[in-house]
A and B are shown apart, each in its own frame.
Chain A
């Protein structure tokens, strides 16, 4: 009987942990260039978190806090609504890598690298990300 209760609790706890870690990141992020850049030359991009996590990427492949060239990000910080997660928190107009370049370097950079390695990859051409609705 004790063992049975233990397993139920364990499953419940695991379930909560799993569910919370899954809900830590929203599935679909629809960017609004007007809010991000104050201009909108291209239609906003939709990023599917789940597609990328299911493809085997870790949160740290995209989210980072650098210290001495090391990514020391604490994944517990990755919560919906945390403004510090936003790329714009650090990549502003005064930084070497501006916001637009941060996005393009990360997104197109990885897709291009995987393409060269002939692995499953994402799009590289403008209209495949900036889809007109």
Chain B
């Protein structure tokens, strides 16, 4: 049991994570391939005008005012910090990289452990903020389902157990086993839950966006 969790299951989780994302990506393009309408003639296109640098900055600031930054600056900061730390902390973690090096002979550059530990703490604090929002803000609570809490939990538990393991609080053997299990659970669930937004965010935001501007709608949404 312990062997399976720390050996083969790590590999299985990694493969499901990568193949799952690939599958979802391929599905995304397959399901939208059919052309629904003819491509409008380019004479109808609105050509963007050349901007000076100053205009560009002003335009960018104006756009920013229409985003979450204006309506909820705290959430913007929290979610930015959350996501940056969430990606950086495990990727450049000495503990992960030594193990990766031992198992597969590859490893990334590692941050000092005190820095990783701090980034982990930031993820936990931001996670707590998300939880608090869902629990105590009526308008967020109204649209929260068990699924939302579950996904938040799946995303945060590897950081909680990783933090406990680094501090060697509680029983290390148990904590590290839970950490590995929760890490594997997260990798496996990313492609099939809304955590898949790590892929779809970019598809929605930039690909679909460009469909309506540069390539002029060649797919069915």
A residues near B (Cβ < 8 Å) are 41-42, 104-105, 108-109, 112, 115-116, 118, 124-128, 131-132
Contact = CB atoms under 8 A, between A and B. Distances in A.
A119 to B, nearest CB: 11
A127 B3 contact: no
B102 A124 contact: yes
A127 B176 contact: yes
Nearest to A109: B102
B173 interface: yes
Contacts of A115: 3, 6-7
Closest 6 CB pairs of A and B: A132-B168, A127-B172, A108-B102, A127-B168, A125-B176, A126-B95
Contacts of B176: 125, 127-128
B36 interface: no
Interface string B164-187: 011010001100100000000000
Nearest to B176: A125
Contacts of B102: 104-105, 108-109, 112, 124
Nearest to A43: B168
| Interface SS of B by simple majority | helix
Nearest to B179: A125
B211 interface: no
Nearest to A41: B113
A112 B3 CA distance: 11
B184 to A, nearest CB: 15
A115 B4 CA distance: 10
Contacts of A126: 95, 98, 165-166
B51 interface: no
A127 B165 contact: yes
